[in-house]
């Protein structure tokens, strides 16, 4: 593998460089996927999520609202709402609204499909409540915490290692949430092209409990290219 010698380096600078290099590689790989391929894989992933025991049992679910380069979560969000689950979506708080120098993200309740469809798009092209609207919405803490968190990312391993986009939003949120919600279950959603045998991680990166992808094993070509 291209990154094998530096993924496990003890140097934080080398690890940061490896992450940056891999992010560029993964963005290029994702941009090469056709619309049909994204749709086909997203359908397979959604089917696995909707039949997963953790989803079936969950009352409080967090789902990221996908962008075109990510696994499409629209079917998952709508099914969860239709089944009467409480659905929470990420709200990325604008800088300098950070906690202790860390990126700040909250999960906010979406009431129904009409509410979902009315959400504006932020500067990153992600649908989320406006800052004014966010202040009035319920968080998972009002309902005893989250049962399930579905997470995006750029690269994943079967063991739950995740490479995000570099802001640390999900890692910070998941560490905080897990400290008070022991039953929280965090799942990554990945195209087959995003499944690698290794990604660079540090102690500040949250290890997911599971990664759902379209096929039974990672695409060998994805880890070696």
Residue 120 has pLDDT above 50, yes or no: yes
Q: Rounded to the nearest 10 degrees, how much is the dihedral formed by the CA atoms of 79, 144, 150, 105?
A: 120
139-178 pLDDT tens trace: 999 999 999 999 999 999 999 999 999 888 999 999 999 9
- Section 62-90 average pLDDT: 97
Residue 6 has pLDDT above 50, yes or no: no
25-69 pLDDT tens trace: 999 999 999 999 999 999 999 999 999 999 999 999 999 999 999
The enclosing H or E element of 220 equals helix 220-224
Q: CA 121, 126, 132 angle in degrees (round to 5)?
A: 50
Percent of the chain with pLDDT over 90: 75
The beta strand positions in the chain, using DSSP E, are 60-63, 86-92, 105-110, 148-151, 155-156, 162-163, 185-189, 210-212
Answer left, alpha or beta for residue 23, where phi above 0 means left and psi between -120 and 50 means alpha.
alpha
Residue 96 has pLDDT above 80, yes or no: no
């Amino acid at each position: 593998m291209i990154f094998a010698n530096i993924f496990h380096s003890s140097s934080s600078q080398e690890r940061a460089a490896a992450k940056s290099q891999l992010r560029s590689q993964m963005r290029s790989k994702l941009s090469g996927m056709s619309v049909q391929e994204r749709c086909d894989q997203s359908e397979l992933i959604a089917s696995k999520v909707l039949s997963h025991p953790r989803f079936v049992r969950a009352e409080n679910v967090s789902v990221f609202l996908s962008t075109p380069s990510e696994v499409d979560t629209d079917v998952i969000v709508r099914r969860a709402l239709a089944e009467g689950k409480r659905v929470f979506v990420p709200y990325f708080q604008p800088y300098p609204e950070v906690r202790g120098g860390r990126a700040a993200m909250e999960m906010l309740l979406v009431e129904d499909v009409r509410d979902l469809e009315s959400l504006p798009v932020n500067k990153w092209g992600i649908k989320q409540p406006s800052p004014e609207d966010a202040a009035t919405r319920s968080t998972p803490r009002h309902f005893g915490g989250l049962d399930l968190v579905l997470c995006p990312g750029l690269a994943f391993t079967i063991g739950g290692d995740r490479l995000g986009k570099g802001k640390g939003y999900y890692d910070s949120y998941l560490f905080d949430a897990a400290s008070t919600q022991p039953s929280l279950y965090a799942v990554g959603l990945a195209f087959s092209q995003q499944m690698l045998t290794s990604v660079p991680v540090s102690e500040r990166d949250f290890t997911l409990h599971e990664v759902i992808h379209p096929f039974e094993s990672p695409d060998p070509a994805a880890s070696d290219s």
